[in-house]
Structures are given as structure tokens and as C-alpha cells.
Amino acid sequence: MDSGTVPAPMVVRVGLIGAGKMGVAHFAIANSHPDVMFVAVCDTTGFVLSLLKKHAGVETYKDYREMMDFARLDAVIIATPTPTHFACVRYALDKNLHVFVERPLTLSPNESRALSEMAIQRKVVNQVGFSARFIGTFLEARRLVRAGAIGTVSQLRGTAFGHVVTREQGMTWRSKKAEGGGCLHDYGVQIIDLMNFVVGPPTKVTGAKLQSIFSKDVEDAVYAILHYPNGSTGVVETNWSDESMHETTTTLAVMGTKGKITVDRRELELHLNEGAAFEDYHAGWNVRGMTRLTKPVRYYLRGEEFSAQIDAFIDAIKSANTAHEPSFASAHETDHIVDLIIQSNQAKA
Amino acid sequence: MTKLERILLDDDRFFGVNERSHEQSRQQRIEFENNKAIIQVIDDAYALGIRAMMCTTHDRMGDICAHVKATPAKYRGFAFYPMMPQGHKYAASVAEVGILETIKRFSTGGVVSTLFRASIGAITQDIFDLMKLLVDAEMKRFDGIDTPVVFLQNVVTDLVLGMKMYDLFGEFHRYMYERYKAEAGFVTMNLPALVDALETVGVRNPVVCATINKTGFRMSGGLEAYERTLRDRKVRVIARGVLPSSDVTPEDGFGYVCGHKKIEGIVVNATSRADIAAVQALIQKLDGS
């Protein structure tokens, strides 16, 4: 089947590659979907596989190629370490499978572009795990910006702080650049995608600084200035060595000619300038909490956004909607900006 | 069958768990950075006649339990309803040293007693044995404390539910009774689906703690499905998250949960004596008692 959209199945047969923390969560979410038959799991850890085989009743594989060759899948969810994404996704696309892959798509914009082009050509649903795009407060921020509620955007700032690496640690994948470790490919990718989602991508990066604090091989903090086509400026600032943060806190502040939005997963604050009331937002300060902005999900695990993104993937497969977002193409945009940050950091060094 | 307390304290606020805002969360962390402040809340609640608290197995709860154990006369009849496992410490450890090292680190008595029972390799072949090992480790800090109901916390309950590994629920239920003479409870954000799942493994009339509020926030399956479950199924419910936002007044929020007979217990997030007393008076008024 090399041309035409892959036909929409009645029941979507799904397989998982990589049964780590995120993989298992995706499994639980997809497995509880009424239109999904979760048939197979691939991982390298024997005891995880024997547990899933015995108690969850799925076929298990140690080789992802074998799983995709024999499990008669419609779609795969890939949650393996980032350096393996390219080969894994390419194999899946070769089989005309719909693909959901954890973020970031790859560690190289060239590889991300190649996968994006291949997915478009194969006409399969392709999605990257930018879960923040499914959080109600951020969705509302995007809607407000795109509807012109705050006028023309002049400045924005994306920050992500948390306590992941707060002392010198043994070597895990997080501390190795070659395995996709480092704050830029973790916090950085998420906040950059979110900024792209809300205001669109920048065209240039300057003043980037990748800074190690506790880690030897990777950066623990990122700073960069982003330049947008309309002349506006953005700042990215992340630090995963901030012990004062109880949990990862991602915040976006967008300044416009008519007002300002500050938003995190819990709250959206909108200040509208005098005479700039918008819909039921009045001039002055408006605060909307997540309880009001969050859409209910059919099954909940650790945050509505995780269920919402998997359900959106399944819906796109069932409706043969290959224009679905966040696509590989969007992920490529983000990976490209990550690369510009790395180049800007090196140019200065 | 365990009689559930009508009003239960909650330890979320002591450890800065607050869905509404980061700023409120930070304020709570400052307010309760000292265990004395937590003990004061328990003392105030006890004086008002409140006899139970839902709690995580946070390390600091170990200190609170030690205090309660040291002064038993002062806390006669006060029960803790632990929720386990406490996710953060396991997640942080798994991220740092991996899953096998984490099991060694947290099992009762550390590596040595684990090796007595079986090798790590053999244990991980059997999820039931692994679960028992972790339950024992978590229950250690509640030695000598009244724990009539022990909950599986919501991330684990809902994960097992989604993975459809329902036999784990049955095994947890059986083990809690056999080993600790405690009733197993389940915390969830998916009440209707969970009650169905528990029934398939023979857990009848289960104790379930679920987010329940009149706005339907964090009530997966939907408000109507929740109301059907509360009306038609055999289940004993403890409601939490009754006031999800400032849009819901206490009268409306507690009025909603007090209107359901199967909701036997209500978790209150109040942390000052005056606030606890006010919520207590409101619930008593709504109950007509």
C-alpha cells in the first residue's frame, strides 16, 4: 500500500515500544480506550515483559522489528530513549503504521525532517508527545493570542524550572549527551514547542548559553534569545537544578500591544489594557483556573493532557486525519530551533 | 465491615499539594515546614471530635506517626488511613538508580532481609511478591498505629485499572486483610470503571476514595456515570476534592456530596481550627445531625 491514505480501522491494533515510565502510562491510557486493542509490547527488560504477558495479556517482544513484522499492528507508540527514535520510527513508517513517538522526535533536525517527509508521503497519522499542547490553560493562551486578544505580540518569555539534577550524580541517560540527556532536550524541547504552539516559530537565535551546574557531560540550564519574523523577541530560560521547585514548572509570558498573558498549567492570568475587553474577559486582571479550562477525559492518569493526546491520536487514525497535530513537521520545527540554540552557544564559545 | 469516619483530615496541604496555584502551594510549604504545625492541626481537629486522617507515606508522616504513638492517651480512637505507595520517592529513585536498585533500597530492612526472602531476580518474576515487599516497607512506619483502611494511591490504582491487571487489586485486598487485618481501599479518578473492575476480581462493596464535586472536575467517565454508580452500585465512598475551585461555594460543594448516601466519608482540606470547625458544622447541618 504505497499510495492513498491508510484506511481507517474499526478497532485500532496498537503496540508499544519501550515500557518505561512514559511507555507504561501510554499503554494504560490506550489500553482503556474503547476502540483500541492493545496487542503487543516490546522492551529489553525481561521482568517487565513477563509481568505484562502474565497479568495484562499482551504479546511481548524483545526486538521491535519482530513486533512490527508479526503483531499485525495499525499503530505503534514509541517511548524508547531518543537516540533510538529515528531507526524505530523509520521502520514503523516503512510498514505504513501510524506512529506516536515521545518527544523529542530525534536529536538531529535532518533526521526529524526526513521522518516528517516520509510520514507525509506514507499518509499515516504522525504525532509527537508534546503533552503540554493538551493542557487547558495553554490551549486558552494560544486561542487568545491567535484571536488577537492581546494585540500584536511584542515580547515573550518561556521558562521551565524543576529539580531533576540537584547534585552530582552517577551516569544515567539523563547525564549523557549522546543518549539525549541534558536540560535542552528535556525541558528546553517542551517549552520551545509550547512557544511555537502559542505564537509560531522564531527565525533566528542569538545569545544562547548552555550551562553545566552539576552535570559533567550535559547542560543543566539553558538561556537563549529568540527572534520572530514580526520583529518581536523571546527569551527561553530553563534550569533543572532548582531544588526550590516541588515539581517541574513551565510558564509562558506573552506581552502584546493590548495586554499580557502569564500562564502555567494551573492558571491563566490575562491583563487587558483599558478599552481592550475581549469576550468575557474585562479590562484589567482576569484569572482563570485549570478547573474551569480543563476538558474532562474518559480516563485519567497523572494529568488530563496525557489521555487527551493519546485519544487525539486514536481519533486521527479513526478519521484518517493525517493533518493532525502535533505532527512530526511541528517537532522538526522545534528540533531545528534546538539546533540553532546549540549553534549559537558554540559560536560564542 | 469497617465503619468509615464521616470527616477526614488530609495531609495534601501539609506538603504543598495544591491544584489551584503555585503561590498557594508555596505558602503551605512555608506554613507546614515544621512538623509541630502539622501536629497542631491534628490536635485541633481531635479536640473538635475528628477521628481520622488520610495520609501519604511521606517520610515526614513517619515522624507524625511516631509522635502519635508516643502519646497514645492523647489520640485515643484516632485512625490513619494511609495511601501508598508515595510516588515521588520511588520515581526519583528509579530515575536515579533504576528499578532493581530501587526495590533493594525500599524493601523492609534493606537488602539483607530481602535476600532472606528470595533473590531480587526471583521476586521480580512475581508481581504479587513484589507488591507485598513494598507494602510491608510502607506499613513499617504505621507499626502500632490504628490503620483500619489502607489505600492504594490513585496513580497506581488508575495505572493498574488502565492496564487491566485487575488481579492485582484482588491480591492487594486479600493481603491487607490477611497480614494487617485492614480493609483495602482504592483512590481513583475513574470511579465508575474502577467499581466494575473490582467486581470482576470479587472485591465486593469496596471502599473507594474519589474526587467528587458538583462541577465534574477530575471525575472521569463523567458526572452522570458517577451519579449512576453512587445510586446503583454497592460501594462505600470517601469523597475528596469537593471544592475544586473558588467558583464552588462550601454550601454548594458539601451540599452536593452530602446528598449521596453512599458517600460515607468526606475529606476536608481545612488546616486551621476555625476552618475545620466551620466545615464540620456545615456537614453536620447538611446531614441533619
Domain annotation covers residue A318: yes
Host domain of residue A260 = 136-289
**DSSP structural state of residue A172:** -
Q: A92-120: b or e for each residue (b if 16 or more CB lie within 10 Å)?
A: bbebebbbbbbbbbbbbbebbbbbbebbe
Instruction: Out of A289, A318, A342, pick the residue that ends a domain.
Output: A289
User: Mean pLDDT of residues grouped by 10 in chain A (349 residues)?
Assistant: 64 96 94 97 88 92 98 97 97 98 97 98 97 98 98 97 82 74 93 98 97 92 97 97 89 98 96 97 96 94 96 96 94 97 87
Domain annotation covers residue B60: yes
Residue A196, min C-alpha distance to chain B (Å): 24
Contact A41, A49 (CB under 8 A): yes
Q: What residue type is assigned to position A64 of the chain? A: Y
| Nearest one of A309, A302, A305 to A25, comparing CA atoms | A302
Domain annotation covers residue B239: yes
Find the angle CA(A196)-CA(A193)-CA(A124) to the nearest 5 degrees.
100
CA distances from B272 to A39, B13, B265 (A): 51, 11, 20
Q: What residue type is assigned to position B289 of the chain? A: S
Task: Note the pLDDT of residue B1.
Answer: 75
Write the Ramachandran bin of B39: left for phi over 0, alpha for psi from -120 to 50, otherwise beta: alpha
CA distances from A32 to A35, A57, B201 (A): 9, 14, 17
Same domain flag for A275 and A312: no
| B237 vs B61, more confident | B237
**DSSP structural state of residue B201:** T
Domain annotation covers residue A1: no
Same domain flag for A100 and A221: no
Mind listing the pLDDT tens digit for each residue in B167-178? 999 999 999 999
The residue with cell 492518569 is A301
Mind listing the pLDDT tens digit for each residue in B205-236? 999 999 999 999 999 999 999 999 999 999 99
Domain annotation covers residue A186: yes
The helix (H) or strand (E) run that includes residue B55 is strand B52-55
Task: Supply the CATH number for residue A61's domain.
Answer: 3.40.50.720
| B277 vs B34, more confident | B277
Task: Note the pLDDT of residue B116.
Answer: 45
3-class secondary-structure state, position B45: helix
Mean pLDDT, chain B, integer? 86
Residues of B with CB under 8 A from a CB of A: 16, 19-22, 25, 29, 91, 94-97, 99, 121, 124-125, 127, 155, 158-159, 161-165, 167-168, 189-190, 193, 215-222, 244-247
Residue A329, min C-alpha distance to chain B (Å): 30
Confidence of residue B110 (pLDDT cuts 50, 70, 90): very low
Contact list in B for residue A50 (CB cut-off 8 A) is 125
Task: Note the pLDDT of residue B117.
Answer: 46
- Residue A129 has a CB neighbour count (10 Å cut-off) of 27
Exposed, middle or buried: residue A227 (CB in 10 Å: 0-12, 13-18, 19+)? middle
Task: Supply the CATH number for residue B13's domain.
Answer: 3.20.20.100
Residues of A with CB under 8 A from a CB of B: 21, 24-25, 27-29, 31-32, 45, 47, 50-52, 54-57, 164, 169-170, 172, 174, 246, 249, 264, 266-267, 289-292, 294, 296-302, 307
Rounded to whole angstroms, the Cα distance separating A334 from A151 reads: 25
Instruction: Out of A241, A264, A289, pick the residue that ends a domain.
Output: A289
Task: Note the pLDDT of residue B121.
Answer: 53
| ipTM higher than the 0.90 cut | yes
Confidence of residue B247 (pLDDT cuts 50, 70, 90): confident
Rounded to whole angstroms, the Cα distance separating B15 from B87 reads: 13
Least confident of A224-233, B107-116, B143-152: B107-116
Beta strands per DSSP E along A62-151? 75-78, 98-101, 126-128
Domain annotation covers residue A58: yes
Task: Note the pLDDT of residue B137.
Answer: 83
Same domain flag for A260 and A126: no
Residue B52, min C-alpha distance to chain A (Å): 26
Same domain flag for A73 and A35: yes
- Residue A319 has a CB neighbour count (10 Å cut-off) of 11
Task: Supply the CATH number for residue A163's domain.
Answer: 3.30.360.10
Q: Across the interface, do A299 and B193 touch by the CB < 8 Å criterion? A: yes
Contact A192, A201 (CB under 8 A): no
Is pTM beyond 0.90? Reply is: yes
CA distances from A64 to A79, A111, A279 (A): 12, 19, 50
A77 grid coordinates: 507508540
Q: Across the interface, do B163 and A29 touch by the CB < 8 Å criterion? A: no
Contact B208, B236 (CB under 8 A): yes
- Count: domains in chain A: 2
Q: Across the interface, do B124 and A47 touch by the CB < 8 Å criterion? A: yes
- Count: domains in chain B: 1
Same domain flag for A163 and A278: yes
Task: Note the pLDDT of residue A232.
Answer: 97
Same domain flag for A17 and A114: yes
Same domain flag for A143 and A266: yes
Host domain of residue B198 = 7-85+146-287
Contact A165, A174 (CB under 8 A): yes
- Residue B228 has a CB neighbour count (10 Å cut-off) of 13
Rounded to whole angstroms, the Cα distance separating A331 from A276 reads: 34
